[in-house]
Structure 1
Amino acid sequence: MLDIPHRVRVHVDALLAAQIDMGVCDAQARNAPVGKSAAMSAPRLPKVAGIDSTVPGPAHTAGPLPDDVVAPSPPGALIQDRLAGWVSDLTTLHELIDRLVRTATLDDALAELLRAGSALVGARRGMAVLEPADGLGPATTVGLGLAHADLGSIETVPRSATSYGRILDGLPDPGAHPDLLAEAGLDPRHREVAARLGYAASYALPLDGQGSAATGESGTAGRLGAVVWLYDEPAEPDERRRHLIGHYVTYAAAHLARLVELQRARAQIATVTEELLPSRLPRVPGVQLAARHRTHPRGGGDWYDALPLPEGALGLAVGSVSGSGPSALAAMGRLRASLRAYAVMEGEDPVAVLSDLELLLRLTEPARTATALFAYAEPGLRKLVLAGAGHTPPLIVGERRTEYVETSLSAPLGMLSCWEAPSVEFAPEPGETVLLYTDGLLRRTGDPMDRAFARLHAAAASVPKADREDPGAVADHVLRTMLPEELDRPVEGEDVVLLAARFD
């Protein structure tokens, strides 16, 4: 909050009482219109029998004010003006901080910081450099009113010659450079870049994660980076603007610290997830494979697998483990590894593979459920035998047909007393793609399941003819059609897995 100086902390009630205690005549004199004569302002009695009843004004009545004299301000007007200014500043600061905390990504938060800061300090351009002191990243540079070439030119200046560079190096710096071109001892390279880009002054502040402790929030401790605003003319913010921008940057640093921790956690989860999934898909004659996986930011349990089997066969599997977070990731890794072992031993019988997986899950993790689908494919014969446990049916995408494979219904793994669903055998035509997927693709649409299945069927049927020869293009088209607004963002609610196999 803004600190009110002690010298202006007065009792407003005392001021009002002082005004009430003033004499009535004195109050009338102060409120008398300027420029009117005393005769016009004095009270008059009615005329009687032609006698002028004008009486002279009382001796204590003030006379007219000269035209060149301004009436003094009422007592307390200066205090009220200052209080109004502080209330206005607090309102502005609250609105800007509220807009900042609504940002959910680092880039958006840095852009909002630059926009709000430019309004507070009165600058048109700026640059924010995120470079955490612990070296764990992420590191990025965001500009306001600066093109990529401009940012590159600024980065050619030695760090020790710029105010924000000294902050990044942990050196003390006043932050304000009101006239760069006239500043003595300025690095010639800095002066040259400033003249070329057309800025004549700068004001920089550190982004310190320690500020989160002052605001009662947790976050990355230590220096996060620096922010600098550039003026077109020699200038610097006054004391009031410095006070406002200082408070704003303190809260901004705490918010950025939380976003840095969140991005680091997401990056770690993505790394672990990628390590638990196949690093590359096998190359088996007669079939082309492609996979798309978009994981939950906190780590989901959806997975896929493709492994070569003896005699030129191929095992295809997709599945989903209940829950999210590190425990779901660990369970997913164990389930996938177990299925690979069972597939190598008895892959020709998908029912036996899933039966073994059901028994393992029920014995080792009785509180967890999972869905799975395993297909034993013989590409040379274009034949697939598959079985599913509580999983969504595959989808065949071809030039002449787009249809779901009719599979037997079964409960998920971990909920079966005995195996109930037999396997299903079908033969795709040459050039057709079999699409295996998890239910996250359907749930992310927000539609009821029957409508989501219809949307998926329509998306697969609308794949352009030129893209049908590439299973990766088929998967990308389905993703773009089903989730157009989430293609380039992390999935917030469900994992999405697509495994496409095109048969020659």
Structure 2
Amino acid sequence: MTTPHLPKVAGINPPLPAPSHTPPPSSAAPSGDPATVDPSGPADPAGPHGPAAPDALPPPAPNALVQDRLAGWISDLVTLQELTERLARTATLDAALHEVLRAGSSLVGARRGLVTLQPGQAPPTTVGLGLGHADLGHIETIPHETPAHPDGGELPAPDSYGRLFDDLPPAGSRAGVAHPDIAAEEGLTPRHREVAARLGYGASYALPLESEAAGRIGAAVWLYDEPAEPGDRQRHLIGLYRDYATEHLARHLELAAARDTVTTLREELLPSRLPRIAGVRLAVRHRSGPRGGGDWYDALPLPEGALGLAVGGVTGSGPSAVAAMGRLRASLRAYAVMEGEDPVAVLSDLELLLRLTEPARAATALFAYCEPAGADRPASQGGKVVLAGAGHCPPLIIGEHRAEYVETSLSAPLGMLACWEAPSVEIEPAPGETLLFYSDGLLHRTGDTMDRAFARLHSAAASVPRAALRDPDAIVEHVLRAMLPTTGDGAEADGSDGAEDVVLLAAHFE
């Protein structure tokens, strides 16, 4: 009697076919002396050739093989679930690539590997596991093993994602390629064998990163220390994992492309270069957050040798906030040209425009009208600055004898009140002093409370070396590193996710 085939478990095809029938259970041998057994009883299990050996084991249970297979499938399911969950928790493309290499290494039994992505026409991204930059450089020296053209020359390799991936099948075929013994394999270039011997690997297994939805986005290769290749079960598991990993990496690539687009748009909306004004030198640092915030800055020449400086930010993030930032900055430039000598009037006009055109959005802004020495002012008097702020952090004035916050009037952000009005403040920086503007993202990225962040910023400004006080670039760089120290890989060492924009704008008066 036939039995139905075993069902598939969560999409994993059984590596062995299910049994087509189940043999009947064998009869148990009676106890006692074989010579006294009734001839009409059950037949001797040893058959006509004699009694069974006394120490013979009983036949295995009929379902033992099925249970073993089912246990193996469940074990594979648990392994795949753990690996895909770990991959799903990765928040960046680089972390996802490293996780794919680690998971693939455990599935195919290799110790080292590398993965290369080449989305569209962008430069490829290569990440190694157990391979340093020098090792990856050696691998890049392996010549392409492209086939010869029938008429001479070489055929292009459109699906090549690196020197080790030239023999991958064309797009649409997701099979892997194994080199089980590189030293003994024929057809490989001498340079390939030389690099393998230098790096100490004897075999490799390459797999295209491809799915039906995402297409081919790259390839991965794992390197064995000794001649080896993955078995059928290992290839099956790494293929299932590859399907999920490809979709996950494709989503990271799409997100990275969107962020690059927003970053490019934001950079194009900000000044491409700082103006040159007699009597003042400018420097700026701008770090963009991953979500695309609306912080901005501006420096524009005004009539009679004056200079307008502004920093601000709009609420929200993403493309809509970037677009609102561009509109706000363009409007402020127009108002600054018309009535820049009165910063309060500039911000009042900006508040009215924001309330009428974008009633659901608020913004902070600080505008300063600067008259450097030489702009109808003798050099002995230094510069003159008239500024007004709307909910924005006060600037710092930094010099040899002081590092202090400018006392600006407390005011609500633009768009928060029915009518905005705040008095302006006039200061006179001495020759050699620097006025430092910044965005609140600089304070938020420290991970401290606002009081501690302000104290930390003041300490950073006061600790500027004396030799750097006359260089605005050195000042902003020192303050940025003191506020947001970085680790060896460029990540911020403090407890912030770096989500907000950071703006530092320095004006040094000569």
TM bin, normalised by shorter chain, reads 0.7 to 0.9
1:336-485 equivalent positions in 2, closer than 5 A: 336-380=329-373, 381-484=382-485
- Between structure 1 and structure 2, the one with the greater Rg is 1
* Cα contact 1:441–1:496 (8 A) shared by 2: yes
**What residue is the counterpart of 2:111 in the other structure?**
124
Change in 2 beyond 3 A, CA 1:169/1:62:
closer
Q: How far apart are residue 301 of structure 1 and its match?
A: 0.9
Seen in structure 2, the aligned counterparts of structure 1 residues 307 and 409 have a Cα distance that, compared at 3 Å, is same
Cα deviations across residues 367-409 of structure 1 (Å, max 9, x unaligned)? 3221111001122132211011121111223333222111112
Q: Do the aligned partners of residues 347 and 491 (structure 1) sit closer, same or farther apart at CA in structure 2, a change above 3 Å counting?
A: farther
Q: Per-residue displacement from partner, 1:134-162 (whole Å, max 9, x unpaired)?
A: 32x35211222333333233223343456
Q: Which residue of 1 aligns with 2:142?
A: 157
2:14 maps to 4
Q: Is the 8 A contact 2:397 2:404 kept in 1?
A: yes
Shift of 1:243: 0.9
The RMSD of aligned alpha carbons is 3.3
- Name the counterpart of 1:140: 125
Does structure 2 retain, via aligned residues, the 8 Å contact 1:204–1:229? yes
How do 1:238-317 and structure 2 match up within 5 A? 238-317=231-310
In 2, Cα distance between equivalents of 1:415 and 1:324: 18
What secondary structure sits across from 2:317 in the alignment?
coil
Structure 1 counterpart of 2:508: 502
1:78–1:369 Cα change, 3 Å? same
Which residue number in structure 2 is paired with residue 217 of structure 1?
Answer: none
Amino acid at match of 2:65: L
> Counterparts of 1:34-73 in structure 2 under 5 Å?
69-73=56-60
Residues in 2 aligned to 1:155 and 1:356: alpha-carbon distance in whole angstroms: 59
C-alpha distance in structure 2 between counterparts of 1:497 and 1:485, whole Å: 17
Q: In 2, Cα distance between the equivalents of 1:440 and 1:252?
A: 34
Q: Which amino acid aligns with 1:149?
A: A
How far did residue 413 of structure 1 move?
1.7
Find the aligned partners of 2:117 and 2:68 in 1 and give their Cα distance. Answer: 39
CA offsets per residue over residues 39-79 of structure 1, 9 Å max, x none?
A: 9xxxxxxxxxxxxxxxx999999999858645544442332
Query: What SS does structure 1 have at the residue aligned with 2:309?
Result: strand
Query: 1:191 and 2:193 equivalent?
Result: yes
Q: Any conservation in 2 of the 1:168–1:226 contact (CA below 8 Å)?
A: no
The structure whose residues are more often helix, as a share, is 1
Q: Contact conserved, 1:456 with 1:478, CA < 8 A, in 2?
A: yes
Q: Which residue of 1 aligns with 2:152?
A: none
Deviates most, 410-419 or 113-122: 410-419
Aligned to 2:8: none
- Give the distance between the partners of 1:355 and 1:440, measured in 2 at CA: 24
Structure 1, unmatched stretches of 5+, are 30-37, 40-55, 214-220
- Of 486-495 and 398-407, more deviation after overlay is shown by 486-495
- Rate the CA distance shift 1:171–1:74 in 2: closer, same or farther, 3 A: closer
Count how many residue pairs are aligned between Structure 1 and Structure 2: 461
Pair 371,10 (structure 1): closer, same or farther in 2 beyond 3 Å: farther
Kindly provide the CA deviation profile for residues 92-127 of structure 1, in whole angstroms up to 9, marking residues without a partner as x.
Answer: 222222222222222222222112212211122222
In 2, the alpha carbon distance for the partners of 1:335 and 1:195 equals 61
| Greater alpha carbon shift after TM alignment, 378-387 vs 474-483 | 474-483
Q: Secondary structure at the match of 2:316?
A: coil
* Contact 1:393-1:407 within 8 A present in 2 as well: yes
TM-score, normalised with respect to structure 2: 0.81
Residue aligned with 2:166, SS: helix
Q: TM-score if structure 1 supplies the norm length?
A: 0.81
Question: Which AA in structure 2 matches 1:125?
Answer: R
